[in-house]
């Protein structure tokens, strides 16, 4: 992840990227380095419970492919940041198993 003009961005590998994009996985889990400036942003969001920062997810293998969501929650657990966002799309029912 890195700070950009409209919030945060990070790269995601193929399996997770498509799950994140279609809403099956509406979060990312990250460990950030000690001197990573994005920690300040995420810690501030947790402390103030102020969300709404936009996050850009970039396909790691296809860097021209990306999407943007609005952060709805940030949780910190044992040094891990769990960044969640609203999906902003309808469900792609092809991925839902029928009973």
| Residue 41 counted as domain residue | yes
For residue 20, the model assigns a pLDDT of 92
Please give the tally of structural domains in the chain.
1
- Model confidence band, residue 80 (pLDDT cutoffs 50, 70, 90): very high
Q: Is the pLDDT of residue 9 over 60?
A: yes
| Residue 55 counted as domain residue | yes
pTM of the predicted model as reported, rounded to 2 decimal places = 0.77
| Residue 76 counted as domain residue | yes
| Residue 93 counted as domain residue | no
For residue 3, the model assigns a pLDDT of 46
For residue 5, the model assigns a pLDDT of 47
Q: Is the pLDDT of residue 30 over 80?
A: yes
Closest by alpha carbon to 87, among 21, 8, 16, 6?
A: 21
- Model confidence band, residue 95 (pLDDT cutoffs 50, 70, 90): low
| Residue 9 counted as domain residue | yes
Q: Mean per-residue pLDDT for 59-86?
A: 93
Q: Residue 98 class from Cβ within 10 Å (0-12 exposed, 13-18 middle, 19+ buried)?
A: exposed
Q: Mean per-residue pLDDT for 14-25?
A: 91
> Residue 32 region, left (φ>0) first, then alpha (ψ -120 to 50), else beta?
beta
Q: Is the pLDDT of residue 21 over 80?
A: yes
């Amino acid at each position: 992840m890195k700070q950009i003009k409209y919030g945060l961005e990070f790269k995601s590998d193929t399996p997770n990227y498509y799950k994140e994009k279609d809403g099956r996985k509406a979060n990312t889990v990250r460990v950030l380095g000690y001197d990573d400036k994005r920690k300040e942003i995420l810690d501030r969001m947790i402390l103030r419970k102020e969300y709404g920062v936009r996050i850009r997810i970039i396909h790691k293998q296809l860097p021209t492919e990306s999407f943007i969501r609005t952060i709805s929650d940030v949780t910190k657990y044992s040094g891990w940041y769990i960044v969640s966002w609203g999906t902003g799309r309808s469900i792609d029912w092809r991925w839902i198993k029928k009973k």
